[in-house]
Structure 1
Amino acid sequence: MIQVAVIGAGAISPAHIQAYLQFPEQCRIVAICDIYPEKARQKADQFQLDAEIYADYSEMLQRSDIDLVSVCTPPYTHAETAIAFLKAGKHVIVEKPMASSLEECDRMNEAAEQSGRMLSVVAQNRFTTPMMKLKRVLDTKLMGPIVHAQVDSYWWRGHCYYDLWWRGTWEKEGGGCTLNHAVHHIDIFQWMNGMPAEITAVMSNTSHDNAEVEDISVAIARYDNGALAQLTSSVVHHGQEQQLIFQGKHARVSAPWKVAASVSKPNGFPEQDEELEARIQQAYDEQPELPYEGHRGQIHDVLNAIEQGSPVLVDGIQGRRTLELITAIYQSASTGQTVKLPLGPDSPFYTREGILQNATYFYEKKTSVENFSDNNITSGGNS
């Protein structure tokens, strides 16, 4: 039986708790920690958990009966918390984004390697049937080389969203919509399409003058083979329509699912390639439905990896790649220069201190609310 502790009892913690409760034969939640212990107690009562309550996670490090820790705290605490538990011999699954900087990611991965413990980064949107089917289709290469990709990570958040004490600052949240909302789609994009060679980006704050960070960014990625991709991250889009489109030389596929293929007429104009569309559709339909999706799917993957000694789908290396793309967007947008990948210690945005010093600050955060009474959150659109 895998014994689990949950660190952070905020808005995302129920997704973890409910996921663990789906697998009572594999795991049991034995502890919940939050700097506001009454929030931890409320979660324990809400889900009828026989769990000890803590206000300081350091008090849990020496508990030999804890095997796995879910880190559900604000991003600026992820590295310190994850590293402490990894060094204490615990497996760790950490919420997105993995950390506030690439330097922190590298220390987290080093701690995982040295401890021999597993580090997984939450990317729950990978664990959906449509995304797994799309990945399967892309792996067939039936579309030919991908020449253009389009990522529309469209969200909408009201002005008061950034009143919460840790949101809207480079120091505490680590960034705006690019880091904390589009991270889902940027993760899927790099998982499916690989890492580009360079990033050129712009960003702005159009609607939230109570936040230092951006509420919209637009980036162009270029690959060594000449392929391009455009990535839009936003919390100013009404309707929250979200999509990923991959245009190959022979066909296009997307989430939400759509397939289209063209061949050339003698005059160069397109006509539908029904045969190729049918082959791609068959590859999509052949991929089975997932038994567990979202956080449930990822936590099931983590529990199985611990029991079987197998790798997880989303490890710390994958988590770092996603943050590397986001960091490149911030560096390009803040400096006005194209950024070459990969990023290492020579990047001015490699460390948290470098980000705080070099990032663009749009507004001064003047309002700070300790807690919202309504903690319901939305976690995705129709993609």
Structure 2
Amino acid sequence: MSKIKFAIIGCGRISYKHIEALVNNYEEAELVATCDIVEEKAKKSAEEYMTLINEKIKKTNNQAIVDLGTKICQPSSVNYYTDYKEMLVKEDINVIAIATESGYHAKHTIDGLNAGKHVLVEKPMALSLSDADKMITLAREKGLKLGICHQNRFNPPIQKLRRAIEEGRFGKIVNGTARILWNRNDDYYKQAPWRGTKELDGGTLMNQCIHNIDLLQWMMNSEVERVYAERGTFLRDIEMEDFGAILIRFKNGSIGIVEGSACVYPKNLEETLSIFGEKGTVVIGGLAVNDIKTWIFEDERDYDREDFYTEIDSVYGKGHTPLYKDFINAIKENREPLINGEEGKKALEIILKAYEF
């Protein structure tokens, strides 16, 4: 199969991680177009990709690669648009990556699927369960792949924890805790008027906490039985919450606790996932659940001694590159991506239940 052709819709804060992931998967994928309603942003992202991909090729440009024609296969330029519908008509695209405002994710996904494109969409996949269901159903009907960007599932420490879960090393799981103790000051919300709004964003639980809530429910390995929540707007001038707490009872009897804050002074403190069972305790912390703080089990396995620490430069971590790799392979192998629509819906459902309080 030739390289899979990607386009990016939405060239704001997170788009550089999509560009980075495409550059790192350059042997199998390429960016052919970008789109943003602000033309300068779309142009900047297109130029950023070309700069990075040329640097990548230069670093790996030995004779074998030249003989294979890798350099020639790279695009000579990336087109940019302000109208994504025009882009979908004009460009030869296999996949659209959606990084627009959360409130537009469902519409852009549905339009992309109806245009016959696979879709990889940033979290949250939608702001309502009805929209999430429409996206899932349409992808199934069209025979297309729908992936959700919960990239922290690919963190090496998280993968190590998931292995322990699947091997049953905890015995009976008692509880798990997701703590997101971050700072998002007024300047952050003023940078984009959609942030913190009910219509286009949601609050701290939906925007900042959804990644760790996804990890928590993934590790608890059970459907949700009931949810209770408290939330409020304490310090930020926004429509939704800047602090929230959720208590989750899972059907297997275990309990999940979520503490999510955008009010920590003066900067981000931690993002931590803890799992406690009758035969094991694991705490993964760091800036973006990238560092194993505690790893204790009744039994011992060879991989217990492996550190799995991941150096990161931002709260976004380095998970987009393996997430893209998995999505590319899902297309080539005609299988579901690890984080498909059904998986992406699970954390969304917990948060929407919390918003009922």
TM-score category, normalised to shorter length: 0.7 to 0.9
Corresponding position of 2:44: 42
Cα distance between partner residues in 1 of 2:199 and 2:93: 31
Matches within 5 A, 1:90-105: 90-105=117-132
| 2:155/2:319 contact within 8 Å kept | yes
1:251 CA displacement: 2.3
1:292-307 pair list within 5 angstroms? 293-307=318-332
Q: CA deviation at 1:172?
A: 1.6
8 Å contact kept, 2:216–2:256: no
Residue 165 of structure 1 pairs with residue 158 of structure 2: no
- Of stretches 313-322 and 39-48 in structure 1, the one that deviates more from structure 2 is 39-48
Q: 1:138 aligns with which of 151, 157, 165?
A: 165
Q: Deviation of residue 287 (structure 1)?
A: 9.8
Residues 1:222 and 2:226 are matched in the alignment: no
TM-score (norm 2): 0.83
Find the aligned partners of 1:147 and 1:83 in 2 and give their Cα distance.
Answer: 39
Amino acid corresponding to residue 100 of structure 2 in structure 1: T
Higher RCO by CA contacts (8 Å cutoff, separation 6 or greater): 1
Q: TM-score normalised to the size of structure 1? A: 0.78
Q: Tell me if the contact between 1:138 and 1:192 (Cα under 8 Å) persists in the aligned partners.
A: yes
Of 272, 292, 295, 1:259 maps to 295
**In the alignment, residue 34 of structure 1 is paired with which amino acid?**
D
In the alignment, the residues of structure 2 paired with residue 284 and residue 106 of structure 1 have an alpha-carbon distance, to the nearest angstrom, of 39
Summarize the Cα distance change of 1:28–1:227 in structure 2 as closer, same or farther, 3 Å threshold.
closer
For residues 166 and 130 of structure 1, do their structure 2 counterparts lie closer, same or farther at Cα, with a shift above 3 Å needed? same
Deviation string 1:19-60 (CA, Å, 9 cap, x unpaired) is 101122211111100001111111222332711111111112
Q: Aligned ranges for residues 269-308 of structure 1 at < 5 Å?
A: 276=298, 279=300, 282-285=302-305, 293-308=318-333
Aligned equivalent of 1:189, options 213, 216, 219: 216
Query: Which one of 264, 267, 271 corresponds to residue 237 of structure 1?
Result: 264
Does the aligned pair in 2 maintain the 1:137–1:284 contact within 8 Å?
no
Aligned-CA RMSD value: 2.0
| Stretches of structure 1 lacking an aligned partner (at least 5 in a row) | 262-275, 334-383
Mapped partners of 1:118, 1:46: distance in 2 = 27
Q: Does 1:7 align with 2:34?
A: no
Q: Which amino acid aligns with 2:242?
A: D
Following superposition, the deviation at residue 80 of structure 1 comes to: 0.7
- Identity between Structure 1 and Structure 2 (%): 34
Distance in 1 between the 2:91 and 2:36 partners?
A: 20
Q: Which residue of structure 2 lines up, in the alignment, with residue 127 of structure 1?
A: 154
Describe the SS at the equivalent of 1:325: helix
1:147 pairs with one of 174, 191, 210: 174
Structure 1 counterpart of 2:281, which letter? R
| Counterparts in 2 of 1:63 and 1:240: CA distance versus 1, 3 Å | same
Q: CA deviation at 1:286?
A: 6.7
Give the counterpart of 1:204 among 211, 229, 232: 232
Residue 195 (structure 1) shift: 2.7
- Give unpaired runs (5+ residues) of structure 2: 52-76, 286-291, 311-316
Quote the Cα distance in structure 2 between the aligned partners of 1:92 and 1:135: 26
Residue 283 of structure 1 and its aligned partner are, at CA, apart by 4.4
**Residue identity opposite 1:241 in structure 2:** E
Aligned-partner Cα distance in 1 for 2:296–2:80: 54
Displacement over 3 Å in runs of 4+:
282-290
Matched residues in 2 for 1:10 and 1:87: separation? 24
Q: Is 2:215 the partner of 1:179?
A: no
Once the 2 structures are TM-superposed, how far is the Cα of residue 322 of structure 1 from its aligned partner? 1.2
- Residues 50-106 of structure 1: per-residue CA shift (max 9 Å, x gap): 111111111122346200110010001101111111111111100011111111101
